Structure 1
Amino acid sequence: MVPWADHAIWWHVYPLGFVGAEPAALPTGFRTARLGRLENWLDYVIELGCSGLLLGPVFESETHGYDTIDHFRIDPRLGDYDDFDSLVAAAKQRGLRILLDGVFNHVARSFVAPPEWFRQLPDGSIANFEGHQHLLVLNHEEPAVREHVIEVMCHWLERGIDGWRLDAAYAVPAEFWRAVLSEVRERFPEAWFVGELIHGDYAGYAATSTLDSITQYELWKAIWSSLNDRNFFELAYALERHQQLVDPLVPQTFVGNHDVTRIASKLDDPRHLGHALAVLFSVAGIPSIYAGDEQAMQGIKEDRVGGDDAVRPEFPDKPSELANPHWETYRLHQRLIGVRRRNAWLTRSRTKVAHLTNQALALRSGDARGQLLLLLNVGDEAYRFPVEVAGLVIAAQSDPGHLPEDPLLVPAHGWLVLATG
């Protein structure tokens, strides 16, 4: 594990949407410098409590960024090398890490490469990615493809980034990543790599691939689903499975990203947003916040062409220009991130269920470095938890303006975090 990653809290941005880029590539020779708009948000990110930017695709592409044309060129809709270098420098000046989105499973049809670089089907045609005709799958058995990916990764690491999110990692043979990462790490031992896994044997794939982390979709689903169904047994089961991953690696955890309905839209009861965030920041993992979730932005993903647009909107030039700011939710994030940063051991913590009913859950995390107790109540009545709180003090709660006389009595639809002082 890369030591600095244990302290990472990512602000996840989809750049093409964030800056209001055109939906398709610009005509040859045209360029619009927009990456600088992100620089205006860096202090906002620092104040939120995050320590890094997880950037979606920034390379030249045909449309949405995941149909890459050239891995060595910044998308002209965003700018050029100078614009990118300026963003990296501004981030580094503030101590922010940078993660880039590497789409190395598939490319655009206009990607120029020899035929052997592409996966051939028995009928001689080129395989496409999950039915998307405009996305051609690379042949990961071809040595030249492996060398290309190594070259791309090292090129951008040399320009100052700190690691890679590997898109659709699950579709690539794990052995391919093992071969690539072994060479990249020889030159950049401090680089960090997280692979997008949606289902399957997380731990087994991570072990074979040597990825540092994987996207924890199972926990994401259990968080919102258990809150909507008022069934904490689902979350307890998912956390038990989540804990099994923490020994070999630390999963990348989230309640929202560029590919799913926003958490504020996903939850049936808006009172439970704090519960979802409290879980995210109280259990093991390397958490990320999808840009806008900290403002309770709404957005529903739909299974159609353009179905991601609602969750990938344009942002204003500056935070002060937000049309409908929700600073209460921003401050909620700040409080919980503050708890996380004061208890950095939580990244690799062990979490056990201390009490469980359908609508009430107590989670106890900790080791010799500290202890944390999370109490969640989604019932319509106040609930008194039969758990031990000796040595713990209130660190965060659903109602920050009220100091309860009895911390074990959690109000209806409330939550409470207690930790060692």
Structure 2
Amino acid sequence: MAWYDETNFYHIYPLGLCGAPKENKYDGVEHNLKKLDPWINHIKNLGCNGIYIGPLFESVGHGYETTDYKKLDSRLGDNDDLKAFVKKCHDNDIKVVFDGVFNHTGRDFFAFKDLKENRENSRYKDWYCNVNFWGNNEYNDGFSYDNWGGYNLLVKLNQWNPEVRDYICDVIRFWVKEFDIDGIRLDAADVLDFEFMKCLRNLANEIKEDFWLMGEVIHGDYTRWVNNDTLHAVTNYVMHKALYSGHNDHNYFEIAHTQKRLNDMSQNNPLRLRLYNFVDNHDVERIYNKLNNKAHLVLVHILLYTLPGVPSIYYGSEFGIEGKKERGSDDSLRPVLNLEDFKDYMDNNVLTKSIKMLGEARKESKALNYGIYRELLLTNRQYAYARTFNPDSMYYDGKPEEERIYDNVVITLNNDDNPACLNVPSDGFVKYKGVLSGSEINADNGRLNVNLEANSGEVWLPVR
């Protein structure tokens, strides 16, 4: 068990939020990162105690075509600005995770520039995959190479090259020493070499206690990536899809079936398969746009905060903002926001208030962090499950008997346009209190009768 098991994340795409220029002219420093300072207090008030931020380092455009891994993008500021930001987060008990873009570099990266200049005689020709001096590309380099996603702007690094591995490890050591970060999200982890990831895991074990490696993985058996040899966690894209389509289709079976698949992978142990849960991010459309019925926004976030895994809120989605892919561009997914425009939302916006309360509940409940998942009731439009934390759990190893507390949280959901009554087990507790409503219910013969309004849900914590 580590800090990241009890963390509610807030995801920031800094080039967008800070309003940085779309193209880097490399002609000076703009201290835009300082615009994030007021957001730190907002993030803390929202109940989040971790920030995943990136991409951060010098690049020419959207940030994933890295020019210099050891220099904050000059459109955001300088390294002192980044150092100050991380310290302010730590002073507010917020952990910080950087985006690690190690699968590819940009064309302005020093090794690729040397390759263009010296071709076959470049000492860096083996830093990239399948460089072919008999080929060519749209840049008329006079050679071709492997890339990411079909974009020659993103030149694929040769992770099998010991020099490349040593260089990336040196970059990570630099980030920890210079900025004191707490972990890294590995971009495109589903195409990274497994031996390379093992190398990164060994480094993580050495450089800082509980240093977190989370990987961007779309599909597959997540335990291939999450284990004692490679990564600590992966992005939970399969649940991301189920959360919105399960509501749009009035089909809670899809969500429950997805969770069962994940349980099979983890053997119903959240610590065996750590997951990074989200409803939207910088690459996919905002949850507001994906849901047919906007009344389901709170329901989706109840699931986000109570299913196994750690939750993440993408900046602005706590306010219910829109964002759609338009003409192949992700710009509307990564907007400039002024926090002053949302200053009343924490008190007056139902979604924002609900996320805050869910975040605080997750901080209070060991069951929501470590509890096993149990399905209690399932229909197309109603769904109930429990997260149960056993006092014999390894969490209590070495702790006195009086601190060994059994915890059981019951989650009830109704995606129908009509009210519903759910009858579920109370698991030995006489009384429960709702996180969102504050109402209390008493058990009757070991069961709870829960009345839910149309398109509503509740998280029930036991009253001791």
**Shorter chain as normaliser: what TM range?**
over 0.9
Task: Give the CA deviation at 1:328.
Answer: 2.8
Give the one of 77, 84, 92 matched to 1:86.
Answer: 84
Give the one of 138, 145, 161 matched to 1:142.
Answer: 161
Residue 457 of structure 2: aligned partner:
415
Q: Which amino acid aligns with 1:119?
A: C
Preserved contact between residue 52 and residue 97 of structure 1 (Cα < 8 Å)? yes
- Deviation sequence 1:91-143 (CA, Å, 0-9, x none): 11111111100000011111121111100167662101111121100001100
Q: Is residue 2:288 matched to residue 1:278? A: no
Give the one of 109, 116, 135 matched to 2:126.
Answer: 116
Q: Is residue 2:150 matched to residue 1:131? A: yes
Deviates more, 1:250-259 or 1:122-131: 122-131
Q: Which amino acid aligns with 1:286?
A: V
Deviates more, 1:30-39 or 1:244-253: 244-253
- Deviation sequence 1:205-260 (CA, Å, 0-9, x none): 22375211110001111111101100111001111122233342311111121111
The 5-angstrom pairing of residues 260-409 of structure 1 reads: 260-302=284-326, 304=328, 307-316=329-338, 319-322=339-342, 327-368=349-390, 369-389=406-426, 390-397=429-436, 400=437, 408-409=450-451
State the distance in 2 between where 1:52 and 1:269 align: 30
Q: Is residue 2:233 matched to residue 1:216? A: no
Residue 118 of structure 2: aligned partner:
none
The 5-angstrom pairing of residues 176-255 of structure 1 reads: 176-207=196-227, 210-243=230-263, 244-245=265-266, 246-255=270-279
State the distance in 2 between where 1:230 and 1:221 align: 14
Preserved contact between residue 11 and residue 52 of structure 2 (Cα < 8 Å)? yes
Preserved contact between residue 67 and residue 106 of structure 1 (Cα < 8 Å)? yes
State the distance in 1 between where 2:438 and 2:322 align: 26
- Deviation sequence 1:12-44 (CA, Å, 0-9, x none): 00000010000011233x110011111111111
Which SS does the other structure have where 1:386 is aligned? strand
- Change beyond 3 A, Cα 1:386–1:129: same
Identity value in percent: 32
Task: Give the CA deviation at 1:9.
Answer: 1.0
Residue 15 of structure 2: aligned partner:
16
Q: Which amino acid aligns with 2:389?
A: D
Residue 114 of structure 2: aligned partner:
none
Q: TM-score with structure 1 length normalisation?
A: 0.93
- Change beyond 3 A, Cα 1:310–1:375: same
Preserved contact between residue 154 and residue 184 of structure 1 (Cα < 8 Å)? no
Q: Which amino acid aligns with 2:10?
A: W
Task: Give the CA deviation at 1:181.
Answer: 2.1
The 5-angstrom pairing of residues 29-108 of structure 1 reads: 30-108=28-106
State the distance in 1 between where 2:319 and 2:43 align: 12
The unaligned stretches of length 5 or more in structure 1 are: none
The unaligned stretches of length 5 or more in structure 2 are: 112-123, 136-143, 391-405, 443-447
Preserved contact between residue 88 and residue 98 of structure 1 (Cα < 8 Å)? yes
Preserved contact between residue 129 and residue 136 of structure 1 (Cα < 8 Å)? yes
Which SS does the other structure have where 2:283 is aligned? coil
Deviates more, 1:16-25 or 1:245-254: 245-254
Task: Give the CA deviation at 1:323.
Answer: 8.9
State the distance in 1 between where 2:72 and 2:58 align: 5
- Change beyond 3 A, Cα 1:185–1:402: closer
Which SS does the other structure have where 1:381 is aligned? coil
Which SS does the other structure have where 2:77 is aligned? coil
Task: Give the CA deviation at 1:391.
Answer: 2.9
Q: Which amino acid aligns with 1:200?
A: G
Which SS does the other structure have where 1:376 is aligned? strand
Preserved contact between residue 11 and residue 52 of structure 1 (Cα < 8 Å)? yes
Which SS does the other structure have where 2:63 is aligned? coil
Which SS does the other structure have where 1:298 is aligned? coil
Residue 167 of structure 1: aligned partner:
187
Deviates more, 1:13-22 or 1:123-132: 123-132
Deviates more, 1:10-19 or 1:184-193: 184-193
Deviates more, 1:244-253 or 1:10-19: 244-253
Residue 117 of structure 2: aligned partner:
none
Between 1 and 2, higher relative CO (CA 8 Å, sep ≥ 6) is seen in: 1
Task: Give the CA deviation at 1:367.
Answer: 2.3
